[in-house]
Amino acid sequence: MRILIAEDDAISARVLESALVKWGHEVCAVTTGAAALAALKQADAPQLAILDWMMPEMDGVEVCLHIRPLLADRALYIILLTARGQKQDIVAGLEAGADDYLVKPFDREELRARLNAGIRILNLQAELTDRVRQLEVALQRVHELQGLLPICCYCKKVRDDQNYWHEVENYISTRSGTIFSHGICPDCRDRFVKAQLEEIAHPR
């Protein structure tokens, strides 16, 4: 996964990047909050970000406050990294829009566990988005089957919006995924099938 690191301390940034690359992630590194915000605004921005709290130009909390209102249609998991470990600091970071919080100096295995938790949440969000999209398509198909539907009173074909005529089963199946199994109703059996059977049994 592509992960954004926003860390102005060169040693901390190097340690973070080394660990992430070792775990198979692709890293995008910046050194200021303004650069982090600009990177997260891009259409192809990483879905996971590790932001240092204290940075030049704009701190990690300010980045969270600015980026969250812009992400109505895109998932982003933010881990805030800081030496400030008081309860009120943690609350302030989470209320600003961070999803998780890691106190410096961090433990590598704890970082890895929190990253994996973030990745699981992002995958679940992606699955949910896909399910919602499928539901919207299904509802659209149902909507297409509603309303006035012209049908020929002789052959029973139906007319679509482009003025083409279709067999009823073809029209419905292409718009709803319905699969038809053909049979013979009692009226048609009496009117057509019996007559055909009698003609076969007693040809003229």
Q: What is the tens place of the pLDDT at every residue in 21-37?
A: 999 999 999 999 999 99
CATH number at residue 90: 3.40.50.2300
Please give the mean pLDDT across all residues of the chain. Answer: 84
Q: How confident is the model at residue 169 (pLDDT cuts 50, 70, 90)?
A: confident
Pick the more confident residue, 57 or 111: 111
Give the end of a domain, one of 112, 135, 158: 135
Pick the more confident residue, 184 or 98: 98
Q: How confident is the model at residue 50 (pLDDT cuts 50, 70, 90)?
A: very high
User: Around Cβ 33, how many Cβ atoms within 10 Å?
Assistant: 25
Q: Is the pLDDT of residue 188 over 70?
A: yes
- Taking each continuous run of H as one helix and of E as one strand, the counts in the chain are 8, 7
Phi, psi of 54 (to 5 degrees): -95, 110
CA distance 39 to 96: 19
Q: Is the pLDDT of residue 79 over 80?
A: yes
41 CB-near residues (< 8 Å, 6+ apart): 67, 70
Pairing verdict, β 48-52 and 77-82: parallel
The mean pLDDT of 79-88, rounded to a whole number, is 83
The domain of 16 spans 2-135
Between CA 114 and CA 95, with CA 12 as vertex, the angle to 5 degrees is 45
**pTM value?**
0.66
Furthest CA-CA distance within the chain:
102
Residues 57 and 125 in one domain: yes
CA distance 35 to 54: 14
Number of domains in the chain: 2
Report whether 15 contacts 81 (CB < 8 A).
no
The reply to whether 66 falls in a domain is yes
Residues 88 and 156 in one domain: no
The mean pLDDT of 101-115, rounded to a whole number, is 90
Label residue 117 exposed, middle or buried (CB < 10 Å: 0-12, 13-18, 19+). Answer: middle
Least confident of 85-89, 101-105, 145-149, 171-175: 145-149
Specify the pLDDT at position 148.
Answer: 63
Closest of 48, 34, 52, 63 to residue 102, by C-alpha: 52
Share of the chain above pLDDT 70, in %: 92
Residues 70 and 99 in one domain: yes
The reply to whether 42 falls in a domain is yes
